[in-house]
A and B are shown apart, each in its own frame.
Chain A
Amino acid sequence: MHGRRSRFLTVMITLGLAFFYIPMILLVIYSFNYSKLVPVWGGWSTRWYEVLFASEEVWSAVSLSLKIALVNATFATIFGLLAALSMVRFGQFRGRTLFGGMLMAPLVMPEVITGLSLLVLFITLRQVFGWPENRGFATITIAHITFSMAYVAVTVQARLTGMGQSLEEAASDLGAKPFKVLTAITIPRLMPALVSGWLLAFTLSLDDLVIASFVTGPGATTLPILIFSRIRLGLRPDINALATIIILVVAVCIAIAALIMFRQQKRDLLDQQLAKQVK
């Protein structure tokens, strides 16, 4: 749908974007504040960045969070892909309704419930099997995979439904085994959805505070847990510096991703035009 944008809508967009961005811009500006009191301006300085980089605690939290996010995103993408294939391509099977329900429920589940239920699971498993002895990396990663695979599955399902099945059918008619069909045809065609699913899972994991707080144990502090424990007591200039770095990294990554997708779209369009000419 297109047409002219009325003045009212233009004003709303402007207000909306101002509402979104002014707090973040202020956050960035105050990270360069010399003063220890965040809202009181004391001149430009980069001292809070130095404080931040010198902090061992911050570095270890960053590295733990990145490790969890990487493992989580990879497994969530694999499981999400398998789940989406099961839902879209395999027709009816026993337990399909239950499976679909469990797959989508994490999308609407309040975080506190997910966190609580996984913690009691880990404690029960430990009582019964002696594992996991300590909560930390493994338990947080398992918890994250469980809710992020839902997001991957939704992304992949949408693409899979729109894709049609004829190429896969042609390949298996020509004698390709199911695994070969998956790796040679389905996965390459799903690549954009898989990449955005992976990125989504990665970000969700990096961002999660509540579930990680429930299922973590002593000694395993992720970045959100560290930030939360610091800002609960009030404003902290070093957290402003950290926020600025995170915003910068995210903006650069998204810009690159957008550029790649844009190019891919252009290439697809060209391919389609070429195909038409050949016909």
Chain B
Amino acid sequence: MNENTKSVNRTSAEQRSLLPSRVGQKIQKHWRLIVITIPFVWLLLFFLLPFFIVAKISVAELKIASPPFSNMFEWTDSGIVTVRIVFDNFIYIMTDNLYFDTYLNSVKIAAVSTFVCLLFGYPIAYGIVRSGPLAKPIFLFLVILPFWTSFLLRVYAWMGLLSDQGTINSILIALGIIDEPIQMLYTEFAVYIGIVYTYMPFMILPLYANLEKLDGSLNEAAADLGSRPTNTFFKVTLPLTMPGVIAGSLLVFIPATGEYVIPDLLGGGNVQMIGRVLYNEFSRNTDWPVASAVALTMLFLLVLPIIVFQYYQGKSTGGK
């Protein structure tokens, strides 16, 4: 009885060890293929495919239905497939001033915010690089910390500062500088503050990484040759840190252009930005075809040029 169970156990154990090894061999044989396929298929399905569907909807017509757009293909009784493609949505957003102005306004707000981030972020990054071995990690930690806390709550913090009864107005009134609160919340100014505040770490960190690698002897050489510090900065340091400047600027500019939360919470209804228009077109007006056309236009005007630019830049630096 005892021997019996033992032998049964052994065979099942052998079978068990045989099975994984067969699977194992297959895994070994196709190792490279498996490793590539899993993330590749995931991205094709959940990243690329959606854009084709968006493209399809953008050339459809709005319909009162669920989902609210017309079909591209229609099978008629006689077996003929009709293909319906309308470019009305694109024509509409190109000719309607709301979309054009909103787009320009978003680019303007994002560009100015990016410049302000650069203006303040560069000296901060430079200051951290030049700090002592003890202070440097602490400063870096303090710059990174806000990045890990909730983005939404950092925007919310400014609602408390900028509102009519908020901290800034209260202090100014208490000091007797103003009698009536200045409206700061729900203005373009508040949107600028919000973007600079939340995106500043994205500017500082690439700049820091770039400045950290810089060879200090170049500055010394310039100084030995009689160059003044300001001159050295503009002729040596800044050109050498251009990759960091570009990386940081892109990391701020692109998401800031499509920003939804900041114009909504800090701008109220008074500041129109394209991300907010798209969201509202989609959720409140449920005009999916127009929302899709806006998304595609944004993709071609904003994201694609940057990807192409980075690709060529990567190639040119990779060739060095």
Q: Are A228 and B152 in contact (CB under 8 A)?
A: yes
Contact residues, B142-196 vs A (CB, 8 A) = 142-146, 148-154, 156-161, 163, 165-167, 170
Residues on the B chain within 8 Å of A17, using CB: 139, 142-143
Residues on the A chain within 8 Å of B265, using CB: 231-232
Query: Mostly helix, strand, loop or mixed at chain B's interface?
Result: helix
A112–B297 Cα gap in the complex (Å)?
13
Residues on the A chain within 8 Å of B146, using CB: 20-21, 24
Q: Are B36 and A146 in contact (CB under 8 A)?
A: no
Q: Are B120 and A12 in contact (CB under 8 A)?
A: yes
**Chain A binder among B8-16, B37-45, B89-97:** B37-45
Given contacts A27-B160, A38-B160, A179-B24, contact A20 B53 (CB under 8 A): no
Q: Are B258 and A1 in contact (CB under 8 A)?
A: no
Residues on the B chain within 8 Å of A262, using CB: 137
Given contacts A112-B278, A178-B28, contact A26 B50 (CB under 8 A): no
A239 interface residue per 8 A CB criterion: yes
Q: Are B216 and A1 in contact (CB under 8 A)?
A: yes
Residues on the B chain within 8 Å of A166, using CB: none
A93–B165 Cα gap in the complex (Å)?
61
How many residues on the A side are at the interface (Cβ–Cβ under 8 A)?
Answer: 91
B48 interface residue per 8 A CB criterion: yes
Q: Are A142 and B46 in contact (CB under 8 A)?
A: yes
Given contacts A103-B43, A110-B258, A231-B265, contact A243 B153 (CB under 8 A): yes
Residues on the A chain within 8 Å of B51, using CB: 117
Residues on the A chain within 8 Å of B207, using CB: none
Q: Are A110 and B149 in contact (CB under 8 A)?
A: no
Residues on the B chain within 8 Å of A192, using CB: none
A9 interface residue per 8 A CB criterion: yes
Q: Are A120 and B258 in contact (CB under 8 A)?
A: no
Q: Are A1 and B129 in contact (CB under 8 A)?
A: yes
Given contacts A20-B143, A110-B275, A113-B258, contact A9 B123 (CB under 8 A): yes
Residues on the A chain within 8 Å of B137, using CB: 258, 262
Q: Are B157 and A83 in contact (CB under 8 A)?
A: no
A251–B259 Cα gap in the complex (Å)?
26
Q: Are A102 and B127 in contact (CB under 8 A)?
A: no
Q: B123: which of A3, A8, A203, A213 is its contact (CB, 8 Å)?
A: A8
B222 interface residue per 8 A CB criterion: no
Q: Are B144 and A239 in contact (CB under 8 A)?
A: no
Given contacts A37-B165, A108-B303, A111-B258, contact A23 B36 (CB under 8 A): no
Q: Are B170 and A39 in contact (CB under 8 A)?
A: yes
Residues on the A chain within 8 Å of B53, using CB: 117, 120-121, 124
A13–B135 Cα gap in the complex (Å)?
11
Residues on the A chain within 8 Å of B44, using CB: 102
B100 interface residue per 8 A CB criterion: no
What are 30 A-B contacts defined by CB distance under 8 Å? A1-B130, A6-B130, A16-B120, A24-B149, A79-B38, A82-B38, A85-B35, A86-B39, A93-B36, A95-B40, A99-B36, A99-B43, A104-B307, A110-B258, A111-B258, A113-B258, A118-B50, A120-B50, A121-B46, A121-B49, A145-B42, A146-B42, A146-B46, A177-B24, A213-B283, A231-B152, A240-B160, A243-B156, A246-B149, A250-B149
**Interface residues, chain A, CB within 8 Å of chain B?**
1-6, 8-10, 12-13, 15-17, 19-21, 23-24, 26-27, 30, 37-40, 79-80, 82-83, 85-86, 90, 93, 95, 99, 101-106, 108-113, 116-118, 120-121, 123-124, 127, 142-143, 145-146, 149, 153, 177-179, 203, 206-207, 209-210, 213-214, 224, 227-228, 231-232, 234-235, 239-240, 242-243, 246-247, 250-251, 253-254, 258, 262
Q: Other than A17-B142, A108-B307, give 9 A-B pairs with Cβ distance below 8 A.
A: A6-B130, A10-B127, A24-B157, A39-B163, A99-B36, A108-B306, A110-B298, A127-B67, A143-B46
